[in-house]
């Protein structure tokens, strides 16, 4: 078994079909603060309301900022839904469950200010949006009511949610939280880009795309890296098809059985691959990724069997 992969027993599918219209937040059965459970619940609701108000403040701006803010507002809601599904699939208990939901809520809070100030979502052309998000969290004292250990876990997961890799030396529960948010985030990005590639609009084209030329080719080094399951340095990207193929290769960075299942069920993997040129090297890379997706979506392993014991809040199955 690959180190770092979380092979888990899938949840009841009926649970995953519940409405995702609102953020689903579960509350600890035990008291974590020097507050009552009712006060704790009110704190969660306050954070959700704050996020909505903050996002709306950017949606009132010029048309392109309005569209970008709407995109990230809805993205956050969907990431919260994905997080809920992944946590259910591994029967995650508190306090990690609560921590995971707050991480999902604030993982991209830096994106709004990034786009307002720099007119792009590209970190390498502006600022690191994860670090900017932590500054926003500090400015508004969003995590001040949480115990210090939970606040630290949330901040660390936000910091690494879009990093190329995560550190090898994280504590077990911190590693788990990082992998949960990375999967929940990628699953909705798959949805966003698949929809855009199939039905592009000019406004979203300006928001999404990187100014890369839309050529009928793919850089050979990108094909080789994706075919081998390696992470790709963005400096290697030469054209839009390179960017699309890298997204196909994201399948190798997923961590949970339910993540693979959702990607397969939603059809976004196939939507993206349909946009790539049918040349032998690309077909080969796609087929290897598809086989990996199929295999991982059908696996049923004991949760966290890579660990001698499960992180706190994770049941031994």
Tell me, rounded to whole angstroms, the distance of Cα 87 from its chain centroid: 13
Asked, for residue 309, whether it belongs to a domain, the answer is: no
At 158, list the tokens: 């936000």
Mean pLDDT of 265-294: 95
Domain assignment present for residue 6? The answer is: no
pLDDT at 16: 38
At 251-261, the pLDDT tens digits run 999 999 999 99
* Residue 102: pLDDT over 80: yes
Asked if the structure places residue 314 within a domain, the reply is: no
Residue 1 covered by a domain: no
Which structural domain, as residue segments, surrounds residue 96?
A: 13-298
103 within domain boundaries = yes
107-154 confidence digits (pLDDT tens) = 999 999 999 999 999 888 899 999 999 999 999 999 998 989 999 999
Q: How far is CA 240 from the centre of its chain?
A: 21
Global pTM reads 0.83
Find, among 150, 155, 190, 204, the residue nearest to 275 by Cα: 190
- Residue 33 domain flag: yes
Q: What is the pLDDT of residue 204?
A: 66
Q: Tell me, yes or no, whether 2 lies in a domain.
A: no
Q: What is the pLDDT of residues 39-75, one digit of tens each?
A: 556 777 889 999 999 999 999 888 889 999 999 999 9
Comparing 61 with 218, which gets the higher pLDDT?
218
pLDDT of residue 73: 96
Domain count of the fold of the chain: 1
d(CA 265, CA 88): 17
In order, the DSSP letters of the chain are --TT-B--PPPPHHHHTS--SS------SS--SSS-HHHHHHHHHHHHHHHHHHHHHHHTS-HHHHHHHHHHHHHHHHHHHHHHHHHHHTTPPTTHHHHHHHHHHHTTTTHHHHHHHHS---GGGS--HHHHHHHHHHHTTTTTTS-HHHHHHHHHHHHHTTSSS--TT--HHHHHHHHHHHHHHHHHHHHHHHHHHHS--HHHHHHH--S----S---HHHHHHHHTT----GGG--SHHHHHHHHHHGGGG--BHHHHHHHHHHTHHHHHHTTS---HHHHHHHHHHHHHHHHHHH----TTTTSSSPPTT----
């Amino acid at each position: 078994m690959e180190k770092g992969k979380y092979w888990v027993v899938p949840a009841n599918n009926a649970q995953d079909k519940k409405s995702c219209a609102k953020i689903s937040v579960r509350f600890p059965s035990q008291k974590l603060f020097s507050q009552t459970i009712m006060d704790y619940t009110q704190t969660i609701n306050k954070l959700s309301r704050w996020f909505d108000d903050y996002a709306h403040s950017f949606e009132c701006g010029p048309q392109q900022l309005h569209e970008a803010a709407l995109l990230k507002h809805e993205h956050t809601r969907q990431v919260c839904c994905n997080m809920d599904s992944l946590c259910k699939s591994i029967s995650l208990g508190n306090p990690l469950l609560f921590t995971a939901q707050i991480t999902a809520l604030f993982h991209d809070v830096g994106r709004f200010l990034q786009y307002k100030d720099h007119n792009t979502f590209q970190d390498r052309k502006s600022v690191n949006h994860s670090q900017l998000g932590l500054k926003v969290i500090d400015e508004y004292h969003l995590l001040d009511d949480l115990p210090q250990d939970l606040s630290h876990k949330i901040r660390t997961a936000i910091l690494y949610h879009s990093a190329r890799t995560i550190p090898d030396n994280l504590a077990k529960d911190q590693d788990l939280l990082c992998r949960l948010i990375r999967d929940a985030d990628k699953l909705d990005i798959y949805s966003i880009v698949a929809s855009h590639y199939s039905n592009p609009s000019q406004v979203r084209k300006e928001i999404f795309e990187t100014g890369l030329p839309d050529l009928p080719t793919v850089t050979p080094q990108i094909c080789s890296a994706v075919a081998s399951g390696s992470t790709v340095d963005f400096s290697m990207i030469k054209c839009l098809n390179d960017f699309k193929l890298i997204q196909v290769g994201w399948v190798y960075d997923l961590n949970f059985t339910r993540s693979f299942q959702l990607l397969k069920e939603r059809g976004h993997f196939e939507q993206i691959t349909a946009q790539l040129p049918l040349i032998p090297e690309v077909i080969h890379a796609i087929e290897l990724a598809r086989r990996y997706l199929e295999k991982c979506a059908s696996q049923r392993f004991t949760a966290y069997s890579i660990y001698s014991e499960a992180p706190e809040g994770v049941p031994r199955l």
